[in-house]
Structures are given as C-alpha cells and as structure tokens.
C-alpha cells in the first residue's frame, strides 16, 4: 500500500511541476513578444472613414520596436502593417482615386497586395507561414478577415504614428472597381 501511495504522490508532484513549468515559460515568452495586432481588417464602406481619417492614430512598427533577435515573424507582420498604412494614405489622399467608391476599391487592392506580399515573405523563411497564407483565392481573404484585433480601424488613444518612409510597389488599378 505504501508503494502505491508513494507512486501516486510522485506522479502528482511530477504533473504539477510540468504544468507549472509550462505556465511560467509561457508567461516569460509573452513578456518578450512585441505586440503587433494582426491581421488588419478588410476595408469596407463601414470602416473606410476610420482608415482614411484616423491613420495617424494607429500603430506603426519601426525596426527599433522589435528585439534584435527571435521576433522575425512579428517583424514581418509589422512591416505588412507599415506597408498597408502607407498604401492606405496613398488611396485616401486623392492622388490616385477621387470618388468614394474608388477610394474603397483602392484600399481593398492595397489590403490584398500588402497581405499577398506578407505571404511571399512568410514563405521565404524557414518557419511555418501564417495560417491564412496557406489558403488560396477567396479562402485566403476570408481567413485574413476573421478574428480581427481592430476591425473598425479605431485609433489607439493618445498615440501618434511616427513618420515612416512611403512604401513603394503599389499601383491602383481603377479598371477593377
């Protein structure tokens, strides 16, 4: 009887130790991970005003935001957000689209192109790609537009985005609207 009790006690202590180690480890990792809310929501008629008028209140992610190592997937997410915000500015400025339906179409094209480029960058690494990148066609866009951290593009209270260089590589095609 005593050997059964000792064995049971041993397993209880072992399980508690393993569980406690996992909890502690996950807490440590979460403290070191940069906060990059991702993915961005698909532009819609409902969130377009916020996209165009509150862009300076949404976070940008300069290189200094990230730790020097072990955050490459967060860095790729931050770069995608920076690229997208730059292209949203182009769409909203009136330089490429003047009418509201064209501005929305431009923003949607920018969203798809920025996330497509993100997926290309994801596959260029030796890590697992972001889950939505594995989908094709409309399934990819549906995946990216689900479980969103900020679907309405609300600004962060008290935040003003730093100046980041304009991202090249986006051309609005009004013929697809």
Name the domain count of the chain: 2
Asked if 105 and 174 count as a contact pair (C-beta separation under 8 A), the reply is: yes
Structure tokens that stand for 175 in this block = 């013929």
Residue 38 lies in a domain: no
Q: Are residues 147 and 101 in the same domain?
A: yes
Domain match, 10 and 73 both: no
Tell me: do 59 and 144 sit in the same domain: yes
Asked, for residue 157, whether it belongs to a domain, the answer is yes
| Residue 56 belongs to a domain | yes
**pLDDT band (50, 70, 90) for residue 148:** very high
Note whether 38 and 80 are within 8 A (CB): yes
Top pLDDT among 135 and 64 is at: 135
63 and 12 in a common domain: no
HEC assignment per residue over 7-26: HHHHHHHHHHHHHHHHHHHH
69 pLDDT higher than 80: no
The verdict on 79 and 146 lying in the same domain is yes
170 and 139, same domain (yes or no): yes
Q: Calculate mean pLDDT across residues 51-71.
A: 87
Q: How confident is the model at residue 65 (pLDDT cuts 50, 70, 90)?
A: confident
Q: How many CA atoms lie within 13 A of 83 on its CB side?
A: 22
Phi, psi of 99 (to 5 degrees): -90, 155
Q: Among 82, 91, 51, which residue's Cα sits nearest to residue 64? A: 82
**What would the pLDDT profile of 80-123 be if each residue is shown by its tens digit?**
999 999 999 999 998 787 788 999 999 999 999 999 999 999 99
> pLDDT tens digits for 15-34?
333 333 333 323 334 456 77
With both helix axes pointing from N to C terminus, report the angle between 100-123 and 137-144 in degrees, rounded to the nearest 10. Answer: 100
Domain identity same for 3 and 68: no
Domain-located, residue 151: yes
My answer on whether omega of the bond before 41 falls inside 30° of 0, hence cis, is no
**Domain assignment of residue 113, yes or no:** yes
If asked whether residues 22 and 57 sit together in one domain, one would say no
**Gyration radius (Cα) of the chain, Å:** 22
Domain that holds residue 4: 1-32
Whether 42 is covered by a domain: the verdict is no
41 domain-assigned: no
Instruction: Say if residue 26 is in the same domain as residue 107.
Output: no
Residues 165 and 94 in one domain: yes
20 and 62 share one domain: no
d(CA 65, CA 79) in angstroms, rounded, equals: 11
Alpha helices in 33-167 (DSSP H): 48-53, 72-92, 100-123, 137-144
User: Between vectors from CA 93 to CA 122 and to CA 168, what angle results, nearest 5°?
Assistant: 35
Q: Are residues 3 and 58 in the same domain?
A: no
Residue 40 within any structural domain of the chain? no
What is the reported pLDDT for 7?
Answer: 40
91 φ, ψ (degrees, to nearest 5): -65, -40
């Amino acid at each position: 009887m005593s050997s059964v009790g000792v064995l049971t006690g041993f397993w209880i202590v072992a399980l508690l130790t393993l569980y406690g180690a996992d909890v502690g480890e996950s807490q440590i990792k979460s403290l070191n991970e940069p906060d990059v809310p991702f993915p961005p929501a698909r532009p819609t008629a409902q969130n377009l005003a916020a996209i165009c008028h509150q862009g300076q209140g949404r976070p940008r992610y300069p290189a200094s935001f990230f730790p020097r190592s072990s955050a490459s997937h967060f860095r790729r997410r931050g770069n995608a957000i920076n690229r997208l915000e730059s292209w949203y500015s182009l769409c909203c400025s009136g330089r490429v689209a003047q009418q509201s339906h064209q501005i929305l179409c431009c923003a949607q094209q920018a969203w798809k192109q920025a996330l497509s480029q993100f997926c290309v960058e994801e596959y260029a690494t030796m890590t697992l790609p972001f889950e939505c990148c594995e989908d094709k066609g409309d399934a990819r866009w549906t995946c990216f537009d689900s479980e969103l951290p900020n679907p309405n593009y609300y600004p962060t209270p008290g935040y003003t985005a730093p100046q980041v260089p304009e991202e090249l590589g986006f051309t609005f095609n009004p013929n697809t609207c």
